[in-house]
């Protein structure tokens, strides 16, 4: 059962520059984009949730919506849009343009996933090794550990 008495100080002050797009996409990017991007000094990973969410965007339109919200927030804070955010959004849009929109595996059969993986020239580099560092078959996993990537 979801909590009904939690206090969210940000909820009332969270900007929503485009309610129509928020409704269409089912999210307000400002929820993530209001966070600052700083180097992790051991006290947390400020901004990393935002970048992780950008890597999970499923459509080009959503990438562009996020970029618009970043520009809106920058203008209202009298700053330029952050390079790391813009670069991450442009990179995600390019990935979606190359690989197609949507969740990577959604709606694909096993054969289609293998075919796409072949097209992308991808290869698994994980190997199991025993205590002597010798490769171990994946079917014989007892006592094996993950070895370094080749």
Rg for the chain, CA atoms, rounded: 21
Tens-binned pLDDT, residue by residue, of the chain (150 aa): 344 444 444 445 788 888 898 888 888 998 888 887 776 555 555 677 888 899 989 889 999 999 999 999 999 999 999 999 999 999 999 998 888 887 655 566 556 656 766 666 545 556 667 778 787 766 565 554 555 544
Specify the pTM.
Answer: 0.58
Q: How far apart are the first and last CA of the chain?
A: 46
Alpha-carbon distances, residue 23 vs 12, 33, 57, 78 (angstroms): 17, 17, 16, 27
Using an 8 Å Cβ cutoff, are 28 and 14 in contact?
Answer: yes
């Amino acid at each position: 059962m979801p909590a009904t008495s939690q206090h969210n100080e940000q909820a009332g002050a969270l900007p929503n520059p485009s309610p129509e797009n928020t409704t269409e996409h089912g999210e307000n990017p400002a929820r993530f984009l209001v966070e600052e991007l700083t180097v992790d000094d051991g006290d947390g990973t400020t901004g990393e949730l935002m970048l992780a969410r950008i890597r999970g965007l499923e459509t080009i339109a959503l990438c562009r919506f996020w970029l618009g919200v970043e520009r809106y927030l920058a203008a209202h804070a009298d700053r330029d849009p952050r390079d790391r955010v813009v670069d991450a959004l442009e990179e995600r849009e390019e990935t979606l343009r190359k690989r197609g929109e949507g969740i990577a595996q959604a709606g694909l059969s096993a054969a289609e996933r293998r075919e796409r993986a072949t097209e992308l020239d991808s290869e698994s580099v994980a190997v199991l090794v025993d205590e002597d560092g010798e490769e171990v078959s994946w079917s014989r996993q007892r006592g094996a550990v993950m070895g370094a990537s080749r």
